Structure formats: C-alpha cells, structure tokens
Amino acid sequence: MPASDGDELNEVERLVEDAVAWLNQDPDPETHHELHMLLRRVGANDTDAVSDLRSRFGSRLAFGTAGLRGEIAAGPNRMNRVLVGQAAAGLAAFLLERAHPGTTPSVVIGYDGRTKSDVFARDTAEIMAGAGVRAVLLPRLLPTPLVAFAVRELGVSAGVMVTASHNPPRDNGYKVYLGDDDQGSQIVPPADGEIAAQIDRVATTRSVLELPRSDAYELADESLVERYVEATAAVAGGRAERAPLSVVYTAMHGVGWETIARVLDAAGFPRPALVEPQIAPDAAFPTVAFPNPEEPGALDLSFERAREVGADLVVANDPDADRLAIAVPDPSSTDGYRALTGNEVGMLLGWRAAEAAAASGWAGDAPALACSIVSSPALGAVARAHGLRFAETLTGFKWVSRTPGLVFGYEEALGYLVNPGTVRDKDGISAAIALLDLATQLAATGRTIADRLDEFSARFGHYGSAQISLRVTELSQIERVMQRLRADPPGDIGGLPVERIDDLAHGGDGVAPSDVLRLHLDGARVMVRPSGTEPKLKIYLDAWSDTGSVPERRDAVVELLQRLEGGMRDRIS
C-alpha cells in the first residue's frame, strides 16, 4: 500500500477512535444514534461517511469572542450536549478561578426557541450548579437582550445565552457575557482564550458523564422580565407629541413578540399588525430560506402584510431579537416597500441620540457615539456636528459596548445599542422603541422616516453603502484573496485613485490587530475582511457627497458605489 494510503488509513483509525470515545459520553439519544450509524457506514468503507467523520472530528468548534456557533450534530466540530457540557464546565472553572477568595461566582443563563436551546441551557445550569457556581436560569425562552440585561441587573459574574441568532435553522450557539468590571459586555481577549483553555482541559481529561451535576439552580423571577420591560419602555421618553402610525411587525419565527408586545404597551404605543405565520417561535423557520432580515426574501411576508394594511412602517426582529430591520413605503419598489440599510437606521438613531445628549448637556468629557470600523462614516459626521466624541471599534458589540461614555453605538449588520445604561449589547427591542418614538414624533409634524433621511443628507451630506459577500467552500480561498490584496494592492478601484491603504493586521487607530484592509479614496472607503461567523469574505463599500442638492448628492453617491462595486468584483474574481 502506498504511504499516502497508509497515512489516510491511520488518520481514519484515529478519527474512529475519537468518535467512539465521544459516543461513549454522549447523553443525547438523537446524536448518539446519529454517530453510531455514521460509524457503521465508515466501517463499511463509505467514502462519504469518512468525509463526514473527518469534518466532525478533524477539528473542534473554536471558542472565541463570539462564543460557540455551529450546526447541531455529533462531534467536537458541531453543537451538541457533549460540547455544551464541556463548555459549561470550562466556563465554571474560569469563573471559580477568577472569583475573589471566599466568594461564590454566579451566572445567569438564557435560551431562545432554536432546536435544543432549552436542553443546552438546562445542561449548563446543572453543570454550573454542580461545580459550585450559583446558576440562575431564565424562566422561559426569551430574547438575547434579556441575558445582557440580567447580568447587570442581578449583579452576576457572567451570562450565557444559548442562541445562533440569525444563522441557518440547524445551527445553535453559546454566547458568553461577563459581569463585574465588564459590565455585562460580551467576552473579549484575554478572557476568551482563558475560557477556551479551561474547556480544552475538560475535554481532554473528563467524560461529560462524569461532570458533577445539580438541580440546585435557581429560576429567575418574572419580575426580572418586568424590570427589562420598564427600562426598555423608558427609551421612548414620552415627552414629545406623537401621531399614530400603521405598523407591521414580524418576529421572524423567533422569540421577540411576547417581550416587545409588553414593551409597546408600557411605552404607550398601539399594537402593530402582525405577520402571523412568523410570530410564534419555530425552530424550523418554515417561511424563510434564511432567518435573517438582511437576506433577500426574508421580509416578503412582511411586505405582503404591509400592503394589506397600508402600513407606514415595517418592524422586524431577527430570531433572538437582538437585531432590528426597518422598511418604509417606496412607490418605486415592486414590493411597495424598501428595507433601510443598517447604516441608514444607525444614522437616524445616532442623530436622535446626539440631539438628546446635546439638549441635556454634560460635565467633563463629552458623551460618545461609536460604531464598528465597517459601518458608515456618517456617524462620525453627526458626532462632530454635535461636539461629541466618536469611536470606531472592531466589528462586534463586544467592542462597541466598551466605548467610554457611550450614549449610542451600532454596527451595519442591523445591530443597535440605544440604552447602554441597562443593556451593554445590541438590542433589537429597545432599538425598535427608539425608532418608533422617532417615527411617531416625525408624523406629528407631517414628516416621515424617508423625509428624515433627506434632512440628514442636507445637513451632514449624503452617505451610501453597499456590500459584496463572497461565500466560499474552503477558508483557504479567503486567505488567498487577502494575501493577493496585500501583495499587490490596487492603485485604483473602478478608476477611482486609492489614496491610502491601512492594513489593520497589526492594529492601528485605537483598534486591536485584525485581518482587515481599509482603502481610502476621495469621497469613498472600502473595507475588506473575512466574516467572523460564516465562510465569507465581506467587502464594505461607503461613499459620500456634500456637493449640490440632496438629489444631486444621492446620484453622485450611487455612481461612486457602482464604480467601487465593479472595481472590487474585478479584483476578487
């Protein structure tokens, strides 16, 4: 037999050995049976089965600043009860190690409506309690912002949210927040690495079946949810005159509706018309190909419902309700409605926050607006006009939320932080209340959200954005594109001269090292980075103009974006 064949045989034997060890500690009948059948196929020399085994056991889901996220199936490179048990035990060890002598660390645990979310949450609570950590389980499936809120409200050491947010239906995930000095923000280095090391230690030294478990965890009281509702309703303020609007709402088969309904009632807003087929939690997400409001077709049922009722506004949460999508009437669209970009909503909410900060005044350092480095530069223009500080952070609310003096933060992927005093993470419910407050105040003066966007363009300049996503089957494809751009940087993009290129691989401008290229052009910017959660290369295009009338500014930006998109597609093809 050739050496290469022998190496492959040895590799398969090692994978089978690892799989059998995994099988022997898997408490889940479904994944246990699934893996048992896969091993039988491997034993019968099924090449597809060997490939599947290699995918599951050739690597491990990495625990990083986004926690864990992956497809539900057996194996260390999938989401399952063995992996979650190891993660819970590793996080417990981390919390116990960093606790002050004589104190008991604590954790609050939440879960959404995805497949096995409740199972993973209970496993976490039992393992945490068995390890000596005070564990508090939220009373039922609830939105992700409730966990971020609960970490601060309960004063616990950490929070765990079992969710895959807007990922495909078969995915699930494990998001971690830290309390104390971290104030309920998501984990960042070095904590992520320290937790990962503890998880690896558990995985290599203990069977999940041997981990101590206890049912002595607590169930959070309903009053916790009531306090979130009260704090979130306060985002609307209630000081200005409002005019009623016709609004359509969808929960995208997620967990947002029950909570946002209570917040709307508390804030004095009428109940919206509902997209009924999408309003109840459903882990199969039957009406959407991809449960992400940004994806083409995801809002089709919302637009249909909006046409039926003549809606002034469409409001959509993603499945765990930490993101918000907004659509407004648009006669030029075949749907009759246009979904705003995350940057457009971020501009509007940032302007709202800046006006409120300027009206209230401040002592000492000015409050701050913040966004991720791939979000529109428009927020910086708002900050400058109002005398506020402005910060650009690495992508992710784990960074945005840590901006000192923050009054508003966002990232272009439909994430907004409007009430940092209570939730240090993106929150699609509080953002919806802020947007509804703005829209109803505008309506009281006969204006619309579209009018407000034009007012923004007239005052600050017109800003436009576009995005190119290159989905790949092999991550090495992304690495090759990034290497090529670094080795042979473009002198122009679509005929527009490149003035400067920032390679953030070694950090810069106050951000930590990151695999990001930032290209500066006259009146435009291009950002290139690998996605942190999906096998994609993402390219962010931004352009702006403050010359001429609003229509002239808009036309100039459209032309710039078209040239940038054509030029970048040529570069990565």
- Residues 326, 341: Cα–Cα separation, whole Å: 8
- Cβ within 8 Å of residue 424, ≥6 positions away: 148, 152, 177, 183, 184, 185, 397, 401, 402, 417
How many CB atoms are located within 10 Å of the residue 273 CB? 18
Which amino acid makes up residue 255?
V
Q: What is the dihedral of CA 86, 89, 91, 93, to 10 degrees?
A: -140
Evaluate whether 360 touches 407 at the Cβ level (below 8 Å). no
Burial of 296 (0-12, 13-18, 19+ CB in 10 A): exposed
Amino acid identity, position 302: S
- Candidates 301, 260, 303, 307; CA nearest to 278 is 301
Contact 108/151 with Cβ under 8 angstroms? Answer: yes
Residue-wise burial string across 209-220, b where 16 or more C-beta atoms lie within 10 A, e elsewhere = eebebeeebeeb
Give the separation between CA 118 and CA 451, rounded to whole angstroms.
44
- Segments in 210-336 forming alpha helices (H): 222-233, 256-267, 300-309
Cα–Cα dist 346/417, whole Å? 10
* CA–CA–CA angle 67, 428, 525 (5° rounding): 75
**Which residues belong to the active site?**
165
- 4's CB contacts (< 8 A; 6+ apart) are none
Residues 6+ apart with CB under 8 A from 262: 225, 229
Alpha carbon 183 to chain centroid distance? 18
The C-alpha atoms of residue 55 and residue 17 are separated, in whole angstroms, by: 15
Whether the bond between 145 and the residue before it is cis, its omega within 30 degrees of 0, is no
Sign of CA dihedral 154, 158, 159, 165: positive
Q: How far apart are CA 229 and CA 422, in angstroms?
A: 11
In angstroms, rounded to a whole number, what is the distance separating the alpha carbons of residues 443 and 329?
Answer: 14
Distance of alpha carbon 172 from alpha carbon 162, whole angstroms: 7
Sheet holding 496-503, edge to edge: 462-471, 536-545, 524-530, 517-521, 496-503, 492-493
* Angle separating helix axes 428-444 and 342-360, nearest 10 degrees: 70
Give start and end residues of each alpha helix (H) in 188-312: 191-205, 222-233, 256-267, 300-309
